[in-house]
Amino acid sequence: MTGHVAVLGAGSWGSAFAKILADAGRDVTIWARRERVAEAIRTTRTNPEYLPGLRLPDRVDATSDAGEAISGAEVVVLAVPSQTLRTNLAGWTDFLAPDSTLVSLMKGIELSTTKRMSEVIVAAAGVAPDRVVVVSGPNLAPEIALEQPAATVVACTDVSRATLVQRSITTPYFRPYTNDDVIGCELGGAVKNVIALAYGMACAMGLGDNTRAMLITRGLAETARLGVALGADPLTFAGLAGMGDLVGTCSSPLSRNRTFGEHLGRGETLEQAQTATRQTAEGVKSCLAIRDLARAHAVEMPITEQVERVCHEGVDPRVAMAALMSRTTKPE
C-alpha cells in the first residue's frame, strides 16, 4: 500500500481510529481544528481534551493545516460531526488526490437535506459513490483506545476499496468485516443514536430491563423498516452495524447519546443537557432528519417520533413513554 492516510477530525473517534490505522502499519496524519490539539498529539502522543486514555503510536503525525494532511493521501478518513461535514468538505476537496478513497466514520443524517453522510460526501466533494467507504459498528472510542477487542463493518459498493480499508484497519484488537450494503450500515449507525437517547431516558426514569429490551428490539424494528424502504438489505440490521451497535451503545455508560438521554430523563431541558454534556450526541439533531425521512417514505418510527418530541418540543419523557404505550396494538 502506498501513500499515507489522512484522518480529518481529532475528536474521540478520529483519534482512536488513527491509532488503529497506525497499529495496522499505516502512516497517518491527523488534522485537528485547533493547533493546540495537534501540538499535544505531536509532542505528548496524547489527546487529553477528547480521549484521555489514548496513547498514539509514533506513526501518527498531527497538523492543523488540512491541506498538509490531505495532500498525497491514498485514503482520507472523515471524522467530524455530521452537521458540519458539508462545510468542512468545502475547504478540503481541492486537496483530494483523483483516485483517493474517502472513508466516513460519521453516524448521522444531515438536517437540511436528510442525506446520509456518504451522500453528503458524494454531493459536496463531487466524487463517485464507489469511492466512499463507510465504517460503522459497536466501536466506543474509549474502549478501543485501551485495545479492548472490537469488530466493525466496512461498507462500500466497490469491493476492492472495502478490502483496502479492511486491510488498513485490521489489528489484533480490531476486526473489520466487509459488506456492500452502504445504506443499511449508515442507517444502523445513525438511528441507533436516537434509540440510545430513548434508552438513556428510560434508565434515568428508573425503568428496568423489560422496558430496555422493548426499546432495543422495537428500535431495531423501526430502523430496519426505514432501511428497507430506502433500499437496504434487512439482514444488515442483524449484524454489527445494526443490532451490534444498537446494543453496544444503549448498554454503555460511555455512550454520549445514552448519557444525553439520561439528562433529559432526569427532567433537564435540551439546553441544560447540552451544557452538562458538551459532547457530540448525534441523535439529538439527527432525530429530526430521520423523522422527516421516515415521513417522506410513509414509514412509522414511533420511538424516533417521541425522541424528537422530547428533544425539540419540550415534551416530558414520561408523557412520551405513555404515548408510545397507548398506540393501537398490532401484529409483531
Ligand X SMILES: NC(=O)C1=CN([C@@H]2O[C@H](COP(=O)(O)OP(=O)(O)OC[C@H]3O[C@@H](n4cnc5c(N)ncnc54)[C@H](O)[C@@H]3O)[C@@H](O)[C@H]2O)C=CC1
Q: Which of 15, 29, 82, 139 is the binder for ligand 13P (CB under 6 A)?
A: 139
Q: Is 13 assigned a ligand-binding role in the annotation?
A: yes
CB of 56 to ligand X, least distance (A): 14
- 104 sits near ligand X (criterion: CB under 6 A): no
The Cα–Cα gap between 99 and 74 comes to 8
CB of 98 to ligand X, least distance (A): 25
The Cα–Cα gap between 134 and 112 comes to 21
Q: Is 309 assigned a ligand-binding role in the annotation?
A: no
The Cα–Cα gap between 182 and 104 comes to 11
Sign of the CA dihedral 240, 242, 243, 248?
positive
261 interface partner picked from ligand 13P, ligand X, none, CB below 5 to 8 A per type:
none
Nearer to ligand X, 24 or 321 (CB): 24
The Cα–Cα gap between 39 and 23 comes to 21
Nearest to 192 by CA among 280, 290, 264, 121: 290
The Cα–Cα gap between 221 and 300 comes to 10
Instruction: Please give the grid coordinates belonging to residue 98.
Output: 483523483
- 261 sits near ligand X (criterion: CB under 6 A): no
Binding residues among 104-123 for ligand 13P as defined by CB under 6 A: 107
Q: Which of 248, 261, 265, 317 is the binder for ligand 13P (CB under 6 A)?
A: 248
138 interface partner picked from ligand X, ligand 13P, none, CB below 5 to 8 A per type:
ligand 13P
Instruction: Please give the grid coordinates belonging to residue 111.
Output: 438536517
**Phi and psi for 175 in degrees, rounded to 5?**
-120, 105
Q: Which helix (H) or strand (E) covers residue 62, if one does? A: strand 60-63
Quick one: which segment of 139-147, 178-186, 288-296, 312-320 binds ligand X (CB under 6 A)?
139-147
Which residue type, as a one-letter code, is found at position 254? L
CB-CB contact of 32 with 10 (8 Å): yes
Catalytic, 192? Answer yes
Give the pairing type, strands 5-8 and 28-31.
parallel
Residues 6+ positions from 210 with CB-CB distance below 8 Å: none
Quick one: which segment of 137-145, 160-168, 198-206, 322-330 binds ligand X (CB under 6 A)?
137-145
Contact track, ligand X, 278-317, x by CB under 6 A: --x-x-----------------------------------
| Binding site residue list for NADPH | 12-13, 33-34, 50, 107, 141, 256, 282
User: Which residues are designated catalytic?
Assistant: 192
Task: Name the site residues for ligand 13P (rule: CB under 6 A).
Answer: 107, 138-140, 193, 196, 245, 248-249, 255-257, 282
**Binding positions for ligand X, rule: CB under 6 A:** 9-14, 32-33, 50, 79-82, 84, 88, 105-108, 139-141, 280, 282
